[in-house]
Amino acid sequence: MKIALPTILLIAQVIIASCLAANPEPYSATHKPVLHGRHWVAITGKPLGATAGAKIFERGGNAVDAACAMLAVVCTMYDDVSWGGETQALIYNPNTKKVVGINALGAAPTGATPEFFKERKLKYPPSEGPLAAVTPGNPGGLMVMLAEFGKLSLREVLEPAMQMADGYPIEAELVRKIELGKEKLKNWPYSKKVFLTHLGEEHEAPRPGEVWQQPDLLRTLQKLVETEAQALKAGQDRKQAIYAAYNRFYKGDIAEEYCRGSREQEGLHTTADLANWRVKLEEPVSTSYKGIEVYKLTHWTQGPAMLQALNLVESLDLQSMGYNSARYIHTIYQAMNLAFADRDFYYGDPDSPPAEPIRGLLSKDYAKERLKLIDWKSNNPDMRPGDPYPFEGRENPFSVLLKDWSNVKTNRAEPRNEKAQAQLDADFLAGTTSIQAADESGWAISVTPSGGWLPACIAGNTGIGMSQRMQSFVLNASENPFNVVAPGKRPRVTLTPSLALKNGRPLLCFSVQGGDTQDQNLLQFFLNIVEFGMTVQEACEAANITSYQMRSSFGDHSAQPGRVTLNEEVPSWVRRELTRMGYKLDFAKKTSGPITAIYFDQEHRTLWGGASNHGEDYGIAW
C-alpha cells in the first residue's frame, strides 16, 4: 500500500514533535517551574515563609510588608537565621525610582577588643556562644523597613510569626539541625529549654511534625505588638507606633533581659550597646554591565566584589567561550580571585576609620589594570590585593602591609584530616536564608538575613537566638586594616542582596543562601541570564563553580588556593583541561547554591519567580 506524500510529511512532523517534547532544548527542563505572577511574588527559604508573604499580599500589603512577614517567620523557624541575627536589604522604591540600602547589621559590644580575644589565646573571635554575638539586628531591621516603606501595622505583619511561635509542626530539616547540635545546646540553659523538648531520651530534639512551641519568643513579640497598640491608642500615627515598639526592644525591658541573659552566659552586651545601635538607611553602590545597572550594599558586605568581577569580565566575549567550558570556568575563577583578594584586604565598616577606597575599587580603569594580571593558561594561587588608591587620586597608606599579604606564603596550611576539611567546608558554606518580594505597584525588595543559626545561644528569657557574626572580624591589621574588631563597629559580612535595573526599572531581584559562596553564585546567576539567555528558574538551578582561593569569613579564615568545586556532570575533557591548568578539583551533585530570584518582564509587565532546587526554597505568585 502506498502512502501519499502529504501523509508521510505529517507523520514525520508528528515524530519530530514528539522527539522534541521528550528531549527539550538545553536549559529548558528545570526541577521546579517558573513562578508567573501578574500582581505579586513572594519567595524565601521555607514553604511556610513564602505562605506568610502570600497572606500579607492578600491582606493588601506591599512587597516590603510581605518581606517583613517572611523575615519574621524564617527567624522563628531558625532557617539558618533567628531574631538575634542581622538584616541586609535593598529596596526599590517606585515613588522615588531609587534603590535604598538597609543596614541592620549588629555591632561589636562593649569590651570586644583584639586584646580581649588574644588574652584568651584566640586567633579570631569565637564562632559560637555569647562572645560570638554582635547586637541583634533583625528586629530593628524589620521594624524600620516596615515603618519607612510598608503599609500595614506591626501586628498584622508579625501575626504569622506569632502563630508559629505559639506552636507549629516542626519540619525535619530543623529537627536534624537541633539533634546534630544538641551537645553544644546543652551548654546554654535557655537554649536547652527551648530546643531539647525530649531531654534525656536518645532523640532529644522535637520529632518531625511535632507541634513545637517557643513561649518566651511569643511573649517578646507580644510585647512589641502591645506597645504599638498603646501608642496608637495614645494618638500616635502608624510609623510612630512601630518606632515605639522599636524603642521598647532596644531601650526597654526586652533589651534589659537580652543583656542580662548574655552576661549570665559570659557575654559582653550592655544595655548601652543596644540603645546606641541604629539601623541605617544608606545609598548602595552600583556598576553598569552592558547597559544594566547592578546594585549592592557597600563594603560592609562582600557585595561590591561581584561588581568588581563584573567590571573585570565586561570587555570579554563570554558567550563565545561557552557556558561552563574550561576557558569560561578559568575566566570566572580568575575574576573572582582578583575581586575577592581586594575584599579580603580592603572591605570593612564605613563608619569606622580608616576610610575604604571603594571608589577606586569600583573604577572601570582599575578593573582594566587588574585584568592584565590574569594568566590565561594557568591558575595563579598567589593572587593578591591590588592598589585602588591611585584611581582615587590618593596614596595607599597600607602599601607596607600589602608586601607580605599572601594566601600562599602566610601560615594557611591545608586541613590536617577529613574532619578538619569538613569543618572548613561547613564554615565556608555557612548558611543563611534569602527573601525576594515584588508587586504590581513597582516595589521590589531583596533581603539576605542571617545570624543566630543552630546551634544558637538564646539570650535569657527573650527567646532570641544570638548572632555568631563576631567571627568575621580579624584581630590584626596585617590581615585587613579595615576590619579589626572594636566596640561599636560592624564586621564585614558575606551577606549580599542584589537588585538590577534596566531602563531605570527593576530587571532582577536576587540573593542566595551561603557564606563566602554568595557573590560567587550570584555572579554566575547574573551572567547565566544576561550572557546565556537562561530563564530565571534555569539560572537558579544551573551548575555553578565554587572557588576557595579567597579567605573564609568564618572559623580560622582559611584559604585553599586552586581548589574548585564543579558539578559532577562537568564532562571529562573540561576536567582534564582544568587539572592541567593547576586546579584541584572536587565535585558535587548540586552546585547552584540556594538562589531565589525575581525577573521583571518589562515587555509584558509581569513577574517571573525562581527558587533553586538546592534546598527548601519556595515561592508563591499571583
Supply φ then ψ for residue 129, to 5 degrees: 85, 180
Average pLDDT over residues 369-396: 97
Taking alpha carbons only, the member of 45, 40, 81 closest to residue 64 is: 40
- Weakest-pLDDT range from 27-36, 135-144, 298-307, 358-367: 27-36
State the pLDDT at residue 614: 85
Reduce the DSSP state of residue 36 to 3 states and report it. strand
pLDDT(102) > 80? yes
CB atoms within 10 A of CB 503: 10
The pTM score is 0.93
pLDDT band at 29 (very low <50, low <70, confident <90, very high): confident
Quick one: which H or E segment has residue 280? strand 280-282
Average pLDDT over residues 157-167: 98
Residue tagged 510588608 (cell numbers)? 65
Residue 312 CB partners (closer than 8 Å, separation 6+): 335, 338, 339, 367, 370, 371
Residue 492 CB partners (closer than 8 Å, separation 6+): 299, 300, 301, 302, 343, 347, 348, 349, 472, 480, 482, 483, 553
Amino acid at 121: K
Average pLDDT over residues 415-428: 63
- CATH 1.10.246.130 residue spans of the chain: 284-433+493-621
Residue 212 CB partners (closer than 8 Å, separation 6+): 167, 168, 169, 170, 197, 206
Task: State how far the Cα of 358 lies from the Cα of 222, in Å rounded to an integer.
Answer: 42
Average pLDDT over residues 270-290: 98
pLDDT(19) > 50? no
What are the distances in angstroms from CA 20 to CA 15, 23, 539? 9, 5, 22
Please state the length of the chain: 622
In this structure, are residues 459 and 83 in contact, taking their beta carbons and an 8 Å threshold?
A: no
pLDDT(572) > 70? yes
CB atoms within 10 A of CB 270: 18
In this structure, are residues 196 and 178 in contact, taking their beta carbons and an 8 Å threshold?
A: yes
CB atoms within 10 A of CB 48: 20
Average pLDDT over residues 189-214: 98
Kindly state the percentage of the chain with pLDDT values over 90: 90
594, three cell numbers: 540556594
- pLDDT digits over 506-535, tens only? 999 999 999 999 999 999 999 999 999 999
pLDDT band at 593 (very low <50, low <70, confident <90, very high): confident
Sequence-ordered alpha helix ranges (H) in 386-445: 399-403, 418-428
The CATH T-level fold of domain 284-433+493-621 is: Serum Albumin; Chain A, Domain 1 (1.10.246)
Q: What is the CB-side half-sphere exposure of residue 406 using CA atoms within 13 A?
A: 10
